[in-house]
Structure 1
Amino acid sequence: MKELVLILAVASAVLCGCSTNSSPAASGDKEVKAASGYDSDYAANPQIPDDRMLLTKGDAFSDEKGEVTLIESETPGVIKELGPVRLTIQDTKLIHLMPDYSMIDYFHVLTHEEEFDFVKFFVEIENTSKEKVNFAPIALIETNTGERLDWEKDIYLEELNGEIRGGESKKGNLGYILEKTEDLEWVELTTSDVFDKNHKKIQDSKKIRIEL
């Protein structure tokens, strides 16, 4: 049932996002700098090297999962209010990844390249109400180079989509492999709609554009 609600949310966002969502600067949106130290207690992903130490263009880090190199980064600290859901995008990074040989099969579902670029977002989600809701921080991602990817292409799989209990918060990474990054200027995220415990839509999705 949770999966069904999420699919409905994503479908609604994808079908309606282009015509019904507010722009990033629409009235009522909050855009503020988030506090530092947001990722201090983040548990490293089991498939992808930790990028927290990648702070300057060209920084690299390697471990048993592979090697990551920072291409570009942005720290928008954007907060969006979607009814009871507060979504914060703490940082955005464009990263080049050379997976360890042992990890190649994991990525072959999405790409046959042995190394590739991906864009990732560190997000925090909070349900400010007392009732559970269903929400996906990214239902669709689009770029100025013409790429369009949905929530199923996320490579981190950190269970940030779906049910959020009343008063609960989640945080972690969402990432998407990109084929066209040479002239990448911006990425635009479309969230899912927000659904209540009875699977009724209570808030429309929003679009968030991030310049790189």
Structure 2
Amino acid sequence: MKKTVYLLALSALLLGGCSESDDSTMIASAADQTNDIPGYYDGYVLSPQVTDDRLLQETGQNKRDAKGEATVKAVNMDSETYKVGPVELIVAESKILQLEPDYSLIDFFHSYTHEQEFEVMKMFVEITNTSDEPIHFAPVALLETAEEELKLWEDDIYLEELNGELAPGETKTGNVGFIIEKGGIESINITTSDVFDSKDKQIAKAVEFNTQFE
């Protein structure tokens, strides 16, 4: 029942209707020397709120920049592809990050948590409208941890405008991320939104999938 309510709320948003460059001030970590930035990040504009984690691809790797510090607690670098009606959803990577934001960003994160350090489950996704008609879709409507902690689409800290309309043939890429407070990071269940056409008609039901972490 809860899932139904959450999905209906997201559906209403979908039917209704800036990122900045990363600061140059950075402290290099071992990850900078051993990993390459994955190709699916080509053209990606870094989040103005969250430490750049593109080089962090293994558990234990760490990076500090002007936005704070990020440490990988768990990771799944295996790409998975899902079909949601006319939408092709690619989850390129999934990570659990321990974040310690810079003091200058405390006010932003206080709208999500009052902790100074916290864990974030984040995914880099690509969504494509394979049809010749505009549609409305969100890659994550509901997230549930192994400890049954629930997060909704509105809890996303990346704010990269992946929810909403996709024009015919359009592809969007970016991060979605949610603060996890109760642990239970061994696996995460994700439920997408339903897919709607331009006349508010449901044309595909949501898909649920599970991401396992090392």
TM-score for the superposition, normalised by structure 2: 0.82
The AA in structure 1 aligned to 2:46 is A
Cα deviations by residue, 1:94-132 (Å, 9 ceiling, x for unpaired): 001000000000010110001111100000000011111
**Residue 198 of structure 2 aligns to which amino acid in structure 1?**
K
Instruction: Give the secondary-structure state (helix, strand or coil) at the position aligned to 1:92.
Output: strand
The reply to whether residue 177 of structure 1 matches residue 195 of structure 2 is no
Read off the aligned partner of 1:124 and give its amino acid letter.
Answer: E
2:195 maps to which residue?
Answer: 194
How many residues align? The count is 184
C-alpha deviations, 1:11-30, integer Å up to 9, x for none?
Answer: 99xxxxxxxxxxxxxxxxxx
Q: How far is 1:62 from its partner?
A: 1.3
One-letter amino acid matched to 2:202: K
What is the alpha-carbon root mean square deviation over aligned residues?
1.9
Distance 1:44 1:78, change over 3 A: same
Equivalence for 1:91: 93
Residue 144 of structure 1 aligns with which residue?
Answer: 146
User: Which among 104, 107, 112 is matched to residue 105 of structure 1?
Assistant: 107
| Inter-CA distance 6–61: structure 2 relative to 1 (3 Å threshold) | farther
- Offset of residue 64 of structure 1: 1.1
Correspondences of 1:50-129 after superposition (within 5 Å): 50-129=52-131
8 Å CA contact 1:76–1:90 kept in 2: the answer is yes
User: Hey, what's the Cα distance between the residues in 1 that align with 2:207 and 2:124?
Assistant: 17
% same residue: 46
User: Could you tell me how far apart the structure 1 residues matched to 2:188 and 2:13 are?
Assistant: 20
Code of the residue aligned with 1:186 in structure 2: it is S
Partner secondary structure for residue 75 of structure 2: strand
The question of whether the paired residues in 2 share the 8 Å contact of 1:66 and 1:100 is answered with: yes
Q: Distance in 2 between matches of 1:48 and 1:178?
A: 15
1:206 match: 207
Query: Do 1:61 and 1:67's aligned partners in 2 also have CA atoms closer than 8 Å?
Result: yes
Asked if the contact 1:160/1:170 (under 8 Å) is kept, the reply is yes
**3-state SS in 1 of match to 2:132:** coil
Query: What's the TM-score, normalizing by structure 1?
Result: 0.82
Q: Where do 5+ consecutive residues of structure 2 fail to align?
A: 1-6, 15-37
Distance 1:76 1:11, change over 3 A: farther
Alpha-carbon distance in structure 2 between the residues aligned to 1:204 and 1:134: 12
Cα deviations by residue, 1:53-105 (Å, 9 ceiling, x for unpaired): 10121111111111111111002311111121100101000001000000000
